[in-house]
Amino acid sequence: MTDSRPDPFAPVQLGPVRLRNRVIKAATSEGRSPDGLVTDELIDFHRRFAAGGVGMTTVAYCCVSREAASAPGQIVMDARALPGLRRLADAVHEAGAAISAQLGHAGVVAPKKLTGVTPVAPSRFVNPTSLAFCREIRRDEIRAVVDQFGAAAQVAVDAGFDAVELHFGHLYLPSSFLSPLINRRRDEYGGSIDNRSRFVREIARRVREVVGDRIAVIAKLNMDDGLPGSIWIDEALRTAQLLDTDATLDAIELTQGSSVFKPMYLFRGDVPVREFAQAMPPAMRPGVRLFGRAMMGSYPYEDLYMLPAARQFVPVMRNTKLVLLGGITNREHLETAMREGFHLMAMGRALLREPDLVNRMAADAGVRSRCNHNNKCMVTVFGRTHCVLDPDQRYGAAEPLPNSAESAAQA
């Protein structure tokens, strides 16, 4: 009698790339490129996931231009970054995995203090979290951003990457065009959802023109963002259909939430208000303690918490694979996703806790993630993103661990 259970650890084809299994390490802010360049520490960070068994690891938030940054130390996809990106790709390949670069433009989240320019949005907008004014992006600038995504994708090809992930989620610039709350334009980029989807379709089309069939192209697309009057699933389904009809993408990774307001809608689980307050300048800490929960939102964690929304997209896809994200922590979850019609599965926090989790799940179906969804890893993005329960990730191999013989000798 043959085993009819789906096998998430068997090879799978993603466009021109063959992955050794169906598990993708989701993009999670890294904080290991202080000068905006690949470091040995960033290479070690991704090599751990590759050695730990993932089919592909994703380098988080690579800017398509210097004005596209959302935080300090992010890699800009240009010639200056190319040598380091090649070293990173080689290291991941040597460990047996594929590698993807997440390409993004922060838009309303790009801080002027960092970029030196006023952030842009589809329409004039005030970011409710930072209270920063965002000006309306011009048509010629829209065309320039489309070209910047194409140029960034070419850098990924030149660096030997296997895929790019176009960040169309979380109300960054492409996603904000999809939002009727932010996009109030009266030209061909505003109004109906077909018009509001024009920008992301142009980006995907340009990237595909540039890369051809040399690498895979994925888009990270919001299903909804938890904000009244903004992106919701009915229009997100239409955007996904349009992208699928264009046949410019190999896969869509479905996501939820916003970088503008109530970010816990993406993460679910504990709200680390105290830790966020401690990370802020002293003058801001009382306000964060008082209003942080209201600003961040509070949503209970459930396993596979994005599945109820994501399964709505399965019947409408004809040309494009779907990637499930959100609350995937064990082999049973991976198999459930495959039964539901998803081709690949993305994991974030669980792999931060245990980079070797995929290998262990493949060897033992009873393995369960040790991630307890305390979400304190969110606060570590202000430094080096890591699981707070793993001292090796926090302190790094070159630094002594607390209470070790070496640190005690130095005390």
Q: CA 143 → CA 150, 206, 237, distances in Å?
A: 11, 10, 25
Q: Which residue do the tokens 């890893």 mark?
A: 377
Q: Out of 172, 189, 265, 305, pick the active-site residue.
A: 172
Alpha carbons within 13 angstroms on the beta-carbon side of residue 104 total: 31
Residue 374 near residue 270 (C-beta atoms within 8 A): yes
Beta strand 17-19 with 12-14 is antiparallel
282 CB-contact burial (10 Å; exposed 0-12 / middle 13-18 / buried 19+)? exposed
Cα 232 to Cα 346: distance, rounded to the nearest angstrom: 22
102 alpha carbon, distance to own chain's centre: 7
Instruction: Compute the chain's Rg from CA coordinates.
Output: 20
Cα 106 to Cα 277: distance, rounded to the nearest angstrom: 24
Instruction: Report H helices in 52-172.
Output: 82-94, 112-115, 139-158
Instruction: Report H helices in 173-317.
Output: 173-178, 193-196, 198-211, 233-246, 264-267, 273-279, 285-296, 307-310
Cα 239 to Cα 17: distance, rounded to the nearest angstrom: 25
| Token pair recorded at residue 63 | 């800017």
Nearest to 174 by CA among 152, 199, 206: 199
Would residue 265 show up in a list of annotated catalytic residues for this protein? no
Residues 6+ apart with CB under 8 A from 175: 167, 168, 169, 222, 225, 231
Q: Which residue do the tokens 């790009």 mark?
A: 110
- Catalytic positions, written as ranges: 172
